[in-house]
Amino acid sequence: MRIYKALLPFKAISFDLDDTLYNNGPVIEQAELAMQQKLLQLAPKLGLIDPEFWWQKRKELAQLDPEVRHDVSRWRLLSVEQGLTELGIGRCEAGEIAELAFTAFYNARSNLTVPESSHQLLKALAERYPLVAITNGNADLKLLRISQYFQHAYHAGPSGKMKPYPDMFHKACQQLAIAPHELLHIGDNSKADVRGALNAGCQAVWLKHEAHFQTSVLPHLQIDSLLQLQALL
């Protein structure tokens, strides 16, 4: 653990989810594959479409409507629907196929096992502090089987703009009835989590996965493993 700033007394803890409590990369790859397979099943005449095509549709949609990026579920759904219409599927049918393909993606993206060490840490912390989740993604706490530890979950889109915007941090503090500096946020992304928390007036712990990762904004604490948070107990 590396201390950059002295922690002030805090009353609640917020966690990022993806790549903080678990490794998100492999499950997203599987979710993308599940979406592709569902599309192939529902629209076989299109064949297997290059994933780059769908990524290009997302970029095009974000250029037309930058605000859509703040809701990753809606962004993906609309981009798939748009892509299908460009490939010759009627608008109504494209909407139905996009919904089913997104559902396949969504179910697969939460089909992972949170490490037992994360369960133990969350359980211990939840006995001392209110815990909330603040994420730019769309992981479902119930599907991840960790909802029992959290009082609230804030997802970009339904709960406001994505981190590093302050929306979700401020909403969490409001619902917890605490001042921003009384919330300690823990996350792996130096921009979204560290800069976002500090800009919102909260305190920040950076989970630094790789030694070469750098940040231009210093957190209060830097850790290399979630196990180091046991010092807060």
Q: What is the mean pLDDT of each run of 10 residues along the chain (233 residues)?
A: 93 97 92 94 89 93 95 96 94 95 94 92 96 96 96 96 97 98 97 96 93 78 93 81
Phi, psi dihedral angles at 80 (to 5 degrees): -65, -45
Tokens of 132: 């909330």
Phi, psi dihedral angles at 58 (to 5 degrees): -65, -45
Same domain, 93 and 30: yes
Q: Which CATH number belongs to the domain containing residue 100 in this structure? A: 1.20.120.1600
Same domain, 159 and 214: yes
To the query of whether residue 19 is one of the catalytic residues in this protein, the response is no
pLDDT the model gives residue 212:
59
Other C-beta atoms within 10 Å of 227: how many? 12
Same domain, 14 and 36: no
pLDDT the model gives residue 69:
94
Return the bridge partners of 207, or none.
223
Same domain, 172 and 105: no
Same domain, 224 and 130: yes
Same domain, 121 and 17: yes
Same domain, 134 and 91: no
DSSP state of 65: -
- What's the pTM? 0.91
pLDDT the model gives residue 226:
93
Same domain, 18 and 121: yes
Q: What's the rounded Cα separation, in Å, for the pair 59 and 57?
A: 5
Q: What's the rounded Cα separation, in Å, for the pair 73 and 71?
A: 6
Boundary residue ending a domain (109, 144, 165): 109
pLDDT the model gives residue 45:
87
Q: What's the rounded Cα separation, in Å, for the pair 117 and 202?
A: 26
Boundary residue ending a domain (54, 76, 109): 109
Same domain, 72 and 172: no
Task: Give the domain range for residue 165.
Answer: 2-22+113-232
Same domain, 130 and 228: yes
Q: What's the rounded Cα separation, in Å, for the pair 180 and 216?
A: 22
Choice among 16, 18, 71, 167 that is catalytic: 16
Q: How many domains does the chain have?
A: 2
pLDDT the model gives residue 211:
61
